[in-house]
Structure formats: structure tokens, C-alpha cells
Chains A and B, each alone.
Chain A
Amino acid sequence: MAKILLEMKNITKTFPGVKALDNVNLKVEEGEIHALVGENGAGKSTLMNVLSGIYPYGTYEGDIVYNGEVCQFNKIKDSEEKGIVIIHQELALVPYMSIGENMFLGNERGKSAAIDWNETYGEADKYLKMVGLSESSKVLVKDIGTGKQQLVEIAKALAKHAKLLILDEPTSSLNEKDSQALLDLMLKFKKEGMTSIIISHKLNEVAYVADKITVIRDGSTIETMDKHTTEISEDRIIKGMVGREITDRFPKRHDVKIGDVNMEVKNWTVHHPLYPERKVCDNVSIKVRKGEVIGVSGLMGAGRTELAMSIFGQSYGTNISGQLFLDGKEVQLKNVKQAIKNKLAYVTEDRKGNGLVLTNPIKINTTLANLDSISPHKIIDKDKEYQVAEEYRKKLKTKCSTVEQNVGNLSGGNQQKVLLAKWMFADPDVLILDEPTRGIDVGAKYEIYCIINDLVAAGKSVVMISSELPEVLGMSDRIYVMNEGRIAGELSAEEASQEKIMSIIVNSGKGA
């Protein structure tokens, strides 16, 4: 039996009014990849914050035994000195600094009064090579993609001589290809003796990479599964996470009549707002019928979000050309207001950044896109506002104390429901949902799928942009595959499969 590198014993952490962690136990062997899974708010991140010293010793109960000794970390620096390095879900890089500067931020080479830039960049290049990046460390972080930024974060961790690497949702903003590369990198490090903990929602990735999986539910450890002794399937993990078996991850749609074409886009071309010579969408034509869900699949950067936002009242891009038909009539949507008026809605992928006003309560967010309907003579009817918010809270089963609660205090899944409520209240005929289930847990996902089904059952059309292939396959009537700004292929639900979609992407990339 291998040596236990880390053991967290009976960790209990309480916040005012809430027990976030309740007697959690975690054992990590040296040289393994240990996955931590659980629904949002189950306590995974809290546990890792305890481990890394973000919550200092004394604010929690229980012991951390690392490398045979009991540790008392008071700040992140303490844990990093021992070789425990955490990489957070939100990347912590400064965009206008070079890769090298970022890598040694707070850990500068040379003397405090005289930074040794040669050593900085030399060392940085060395670590970049280890994670398989060919970029020079003098390139600014803003000029590389998210996938590469994630690798820079890992290189940064290596530069701190990490022995235990903790990755919190490392692939949440990466496309399939970059995710795969990252997971393979983890496996490579494992061979070299590195121990890692990975927190992830993507169960296929967990099953692929992890040796052991610990399930946390409602602040307690439920079980630890060992890949080498038991068979681990995604369904098995889900059962542990939600405490019940989800027999079908995608609810069935019954007897939804597919009607006439509701929205059609013809020869749509969009140029990049900053580099107008670059085409972000190139001659795209798609259509969606009443009662139909179409999936738009593709890698990150394929132009899916850009397509959606340019359709939605030109909120992205310049030199937009092409035709847009809504309900058979050609329309010109110059701004978002016109788009909403023409019964189009775009539900953003970035709910915190582009979707919700986090400092405002649920009711205010719910009505923001259609304030006119509850404010005759420009004065808001607060009774009506409350009723509307209450109605959608019930309809979408949003979990909150009241609709007066600030959206910022809700979990990701409930925020997503508020965002959906906001756009449903705008009464659209066509909804474009951009990554509608990103970063939310299995239970909430299922509820979002049910809402989508209700929408199409009411004769609306849904365009669902998603990077998760199972979701696209499970929910769509028809699938468009986008690559490098173009529609690379179209598949019906019957003929589509993960392999087919990926091969369309790969082949279209070769052709270009």
C-alpha cells in the first residue's frame, strides 16, 4: 500500500447559520489522481479552501495531516511552502502582463529590489515546456486562448514546486480538445510522481483520469470509490452525488408538434469588432421551426456565441451582412430592444458577467428585459412585479427564501433559472440558449431540460448552444456543427453521435 500523502480528518466548517462541512474525511495517496465530485454547494470548494489555508487554522475543526505531520496553515503561502498548490476555477492571471511575469507573481526571481528578468523568463520557458506550451514566456497573457491560460496556471503551480496539485473545475471553460490535452497532461504528471486532486462536474473526465473518486453531498463525505477495485460508471457516480438514481438524464418530449419555420438566418457573415478583416461567422445559414430544439455544437471559438449575439440585435461584431427572417418576415434588428420586440431572446453563457445584476433581487432581475409591461406611464407597478417574479419562481422551482433575495446569493443553478425567467417573461418566440447548463449540478440540469421541453411544447423555438456533447445529443431535434465560423455540418437527432460530430469538426478543419 502506497504512502498516504494527505489526510483530512473530521473537518467541520461552519458559516453563520450554515454547516458547510460536516465531519469530512479525505485520504489521498501519494502519486494518485483523486477526484472530488458533488453537486454545486456540496462543499468541495470549501474543503479545498480549508486545505490551502484560505480559511485559516482555527476557523474550522478537525486536522490536516500532510506528509506525516499535522499542519496548521494560516494563509495560502503556508500551504504553498509545503507544496500544496491550488488552481482555482476562475483563472487568476493578469491579462496585461507577460506569461513569465504572471508565473512568478508574488514569487519573483532575483532580489526584492532587483528582479532578475533573465532568470524569470528562462525559468518560465522551462516550465512552459513541461506543460507542453510552445509560446515564449514574454507573450502577454491576454494574447493566448483560455486553454493555454489554463496551462500557464499549471506551469505557475509547478514553478512553486508543487507536490500536491489541486485543480478546481480545470476544464469548465475549455473545449473538448484542450480538455483532453489537459487531462493527458495530468496523467503524464502522475507518471512522474505528482499527486493531484481534481474537482469536476464532468463525470466522463473524472472517470477517465481519476484513480479514486470521493463523493461529497451536503457537506459530508458519502463514499470513496477506487477505480482499481470497483467498476466506476458515470451513472454510478451520479447515484452517489444525488443520492438517487437518475434513470434518464434527459427528459423525454412527448408529442411536440413541429411546425413552420420560426427563425431563419441566411448567408450570415460577421466580422470581428476589433480586427474587421477577420470573419467570425462566415456565410452561416440556419433555421429553426416552431416546437423544435436545435443544437449548435462546436469547439470553443467556433463562432457560436458570436453568431447568436450578432443575430440578437447586433450586440456583437461589425459589418454584419445576411438576412434574418422571423416568422416568415425579413427583419432588420439594429439593437437589442428591436430584437426583444421581435420576440427574440438570447440567454447568455456568462450569467454573472452578462446576464444578471448580482446586487439586485430576483424580482428586479426577472423583469429587467421587459420592464415596459409592468410599468405603465414609466412608473413601475411593484405589485405586478412581485407577482410576476413569484409566478416564475414557482414555475421554474427556483430555490430562494423570497424573490426579494439578491441574485448574487443564489447558487449557480438557481441563478440560471432566474436568468431563464427573465427571458421567458420577455415573451419570446425564439430563445437562443447559450450554454444553458454550464457549471450547474446534475439535478438543476435536469430541471433546465424540463423547462426547455415546456417551452417547445408551447410552440416556441429553442436554439441551444452547448459544448457538452451528451447534452446536445440528448436534447436536440437537429444539430448544426460549427467550426471556424462556418456551418461544418447538419445532423438529425437519429444520425448524430459524439463520434460523428467530432469527425465533422476534424474534417472541416483539414479542408480549410
Chain B
Amino acid sequence: MGKANVSAFFRKYTMIIALVLVVIFFSITTEGKILFPQNINNLIAQNAYVFVLATGMLLCILTGGNIDLSVGSVVCFAGAVGAMMMDKGVNIWAAVLTMLIIGILVGMWQGFWIAYVKVPPFIATLAGMYAFRGLSNVVLQGMTVSLKSETFIRVFGGGADCYVPDIFGGEGINMTCMVAGCIVVIILIAMQLKSRINNKSKGYEMAPLGSTVVKLALISAVILWIAYKLASHKGIPTSLIWILLVLLAYGYLTTKTRIGRYLYAVGGNEKATRLSGINTKKVYFLAYVNMGLLAALAGILTIARLTTAQPTYGQGYEMDAIGACFIGGASAYGGIGTVPGVVIGATLMGVINQGMSIMGIDANYQKVVKGLVLLAAVAFDVISKREKK
């Protein structure tokens, strides 16, 4: 039994193991610099958009490997409109709301063509990629617009000083951050305990206690370690709050709700889903509406972080998001993929980016490496599935 179990373990946790190995590799090559609190903080702030976009992209990919190429342009377009509004003195919350609504409208537009007219998603969103890039330029008149609202920048995690204030006033170390880390761990353990008790009382099958404890201990350790690192810098970056909100909401949506179930079903077998009385067109439509919404949110985070809006923002973001999904184990044919997988995929990409930057590797070579990692991840996935047959 040993051998089969070991190989099953590696298959299940390949990407996590890869992530650990990559972190170890960069800790050695950068002499530990990659693990500096400052760098961990940057890793989160700089990749906030990837987490948000990849979560939205996951839903599209689940419906059958459908991707959205327009998200980079939509990020820029929503950001551009918001920046112009704030520049003209519109209330920042009105601007934020407008940006989100624009995202939804863009999603509805593309969702309409994809779901109801049956234009292939690749084409429909390629069209959007051009159109919204052009519109961003039109809105910004080709110029850079600076953001002046401090509140906006702080809330959405931009600039130099965008951390959750330390209400406990710890010295040298951010107590709020540590407390938050501990609370998260406690909640995690409590939830796991509750589910085990529940399973036991109803007599359901349970994962063995040993492996659950080990898993929980490892996850808790990682959370506390990150909390400690962040606490020794300046505390919780606000962008992390947004990332967590999105991840938790969509983690819940994909596993616990009806619409989440439909996304997997449509990607797994569209005809069977339709014959089960489910409106499959609506499922496609909603996946793209949601993608638009999250693209707008990513747009908000992007302009806040850079404190400006430019017509070139968001270029290549779609590829980062798609890459994170596939590295995180989503199937290119749809029906398979999880939010935690996306987290792993996005983190792996982020670590590789940052590690190479710290090492001072030329940006062009960084792209080469990123491409190869994506190829390797998907090839590995395909091969390991084939062996299973």
C-alpha cells in the first residue's frame, strides 16, 4: 500500500510541493532575501490583481475551459473611468460604485455574445480586449491621471502607507496582525473540529485523524509565520483584506451554492446539465458577468496601488490570471479546478517573479521562465492523469 499512497500524495499535492521547493530555491539563491518581511508584503500587494482576476477566470474556465482575454483591458478601462471621475471631483464612493457597475455591464455585454449568440469566448473576449483598451485611451485621452484621494488609496491598498492600523499599539511588532493571525488559526481549527464531530455523529466517512492533524498544523504554522513576517514589517496590507474577501466569498460560492455546482456541471457535461433542467446559457452568462465585476475590482486595486491611471495598465493581466488557474490545477476542458488551487497557482507565479527580480535576472528571461513553468505545470497534469488510466 505504501507505494500507491506515496504516489497519490504527490499527485494531490504536486503544486504545493513545487511551491515549497521554489521558495527554498529562492531562499538559497537570494540568501534569504525573499523571506524578508518587506518582500512578503510586496508579494501580496503586487499580486493582489492576480488573485482577484484568477478567481474570476476560474469560474469561466470551469464552464468548459473558456477563458476571458479582455480582463486586462477591462481593468484599465474601469480604472480609467474611476480615475477621471475622481479627477473631476466626484465622490470616491460614487466612483467606486460606477467602476463596479461598469465591470458588470462589460461582463453582461460579453456574456450576452458568448451565452446567447454563441460566439466562441475566445473571439468575443478578444474583441473586448481590443475595444476596451481603445476605450481606456479615449477616456484618458492618452494621458496619465493621478489620484488625489488619500482615502481611496488607503482603502484599496495603494501607496506607501496602506496597512490596517495597529489598534493594540505593539512595539516593534504589529500586534493587530499577530492577533488576527491567531484568530484565523483558531477559527480554522474550530471549523475542522465541528465538521469532524458532525461527520462522526452522522457516521460519514472521515479523513484519518493523523493526516488531518498534520495538515491543520502545517496550515496553521504557515498562517502564523506569514502573520509574524507581516507584523515585523508594517502589519496587514489592506490589499490582503480584499484578496481574502474575494477568496473566501468565491471559495464558498464554488463549493456550497447551487450556482457553484452548476459551473462544475456545465463544464463537466453541458448536455447532461441542460437535460437536468438547468439553464446553461444563464450559467455561462453569469460566469462572464462575474468576471467583469472582478476585473473592475482588480482595476480599483491597480489604480490605487499605482496612484495613477494610464492607458497601458493591465496589459498581460489576462495571461497572469489564466496561468495561475492552470498552474493551480484547473482543467483546460472545464469542470475541474478549485479556489485553493488558484491561490497556490497565483502564489507560485508571484514567488517566481519576485525571486527572479531580487536575483536581478533580466525581465525578458523572467518571461521565458514563467512560460516554461506554465507549460511544465499543465504537461505534468496531463501526464499524471494519463498514468492514472
Contact = CB atoms under 8 A, between A and B. Distances in A.
Interface of A: 16-17, 312-313, 315, 335-337, 339-340, 346, 348, 353-360, 364, 368-369, 371-372, 375, 378-380, 382-383, 386-387, 402, 404, 422
Contacts of B272: 348, 353-357, 368
B4 A17 contact: yes
Nearest to A339: B277
Contacts of B198: 383
Contacts of A360: 264-265, 268, 335
B268 A315 contact: no
A399 B381 CA distance: 29
A357 B268 CA distance: 5
6 pairs of A and B residues whose beta carbons are closest in the complex: A357-B268, A369-B276, A336-B277, A337-B277, A359-B268, A357-B269
24 contacts: A16-B4, A312-B275, A313-B277, A336-B278, A346-B275, A348-B272, A354-B271, A354-B272, A355-B272, A356-B272, A357-B265, A357-B268, A357-B272, A358-B268, A359-B264, A368-B272, A368-B276, A375-B257, A375-B258, A379-B257, A379-B258, A387-B202, A404-B205, A422-B276
B279 interface: yes
Contacts of B265: 357, 360, 364, 368
Nearest to A313: B277
A354 to B, nearest CB: 5
B11 interface: no
Interface residues of B, number: 26
Interface in B273-311: 273-279
Given A355-B272, A359-B335, A383-B202, 19 more contacts: A312-B275, A313-B277, A335-B279, A336-B276, A336-B277, A336-B278, A337-B277, A337-B279, A340-B277, A346-B275, A356-B272, A357-B264, A357-B265, A357-B269, A359-B331, A368-B265, A375-B257, A380-B257, A402-B205
B168 interface: no
Nearest to A383: B202
Interface in B232-261: 256-259, 261
Contacts, number: 86
B274 A336 contact: yes
A344 B389 CA distance: 37
Contact of A371 (B205, B258, B279, B331): B258
A37 to B, nearest CB: 25
B204 interface: yes
Contacts of A336: 274-278
B54 interface: no
A378 B258 contact: yes
Contacts of B277: 313, 335-337, 339-340, 369
Interface of B: 4, 198, 202, 204-205, 256-259, 261, 264-265, 268-269, 271-279, 331, 335-336
B258 A354 contact: no
B81 to A, nearest CB: 32
A312 B264 CA distance: 24
Contacts of A386: 202, 204
B243 to A, nearest CB: 23
A258 to B, nearest CB: 29
Contact of A379 (B256, B264, B276): B256
A380 B276 contact: no
Q: Which of B198, B202, B204, B331 has the most CB of A within 10 A?
A: B204
Contacts of A356: 269, 272
B4 A382 contact: no
A65 B369 CA distance: 51
A380 B273 CA distance: 17
Q: Which of B259, B264, B272, B273 has the most CB of A within 10 A?
A: B272
Contacts of A378: 257-259
A312 B277 CA distance: 10
A350 to B, nearest CB: 8
Given A16-B4, A379-B257, A354 B275 contact: yes
A391 to B, nearest CB: 13
A509 to B, nearest CB: 31
A354 B272 CA distance: 4
Contact of B273 (A339, A357, A372, A375): A357
Nearest to A337: B277
Contacts of A402: 205
Contacts of B261: 364, 368, 371, 380
A313 B275 CA distance: 9
A259 B338 CA distance: 50
Nearest to B1: A17
A383 B265 CA distance: 20
